[in-house]
Amino acid sequence: MLSDVAEFVVRGETVEGEIFQPPDWAERMCAAFAGTEAGRGKVYPDYVRPIVADGVTSLVIQVSLQRDNAGAFEMIKQFIAENRLVLRSGRGSRDAEHTGPLRAFGRDRRGSGRNCK
């Protein structure tokens, strides 16, 4: 399912078109994976990062998280499914130039008209 993408984007929007709340959900998700370093304070992992895409808070997930921390990846999958969030392939993926519907863990989460670029 994710073998042909390097990362995917979880939009803060449900498949029903509603904006997901709270507005800082992506930052909270990243904080759950953050560590600390002396002199730097909180450090977010490379696997997850919050972004704002087309005015919608979103979360970029590196697919390599599945290999390196299967438990964290499973937690994110469950979060996406429970909240019925929209997915799309991210930058660096082989299909980034022509993003189409991305199968979301066994089910199509959106139609092709719901893409964001």
Domains and CATH numbers, the chain: 7-11+20-95+102-114 (3.30.70.2340)
Cβ distance 16 to 84 under 8 Å? yes
Number of H helices, E strands in the chain: 3, 8
What integer best gives the mean pLDDT of the chain? 76
Residues of the chain with pLDDT > 70: what percent?
A: 73
With 90 as the cut, is the pLDDT of residue 13 above it? Answer: yes
Average pLDDT over residues 61-65: 89
40: confidence class by pLDDT, cuts 50, 70, 90: confident
- Structure token digits, residue 23: 């507005």
58, burial (CB in 10 Å: exposed 0-12, middle 13-18, buried 19+): buried
**Taking each helix axis from N to C terminus, what angle separates 70-83 and 25-33, rounded to the nearest 10 degrees?**
160
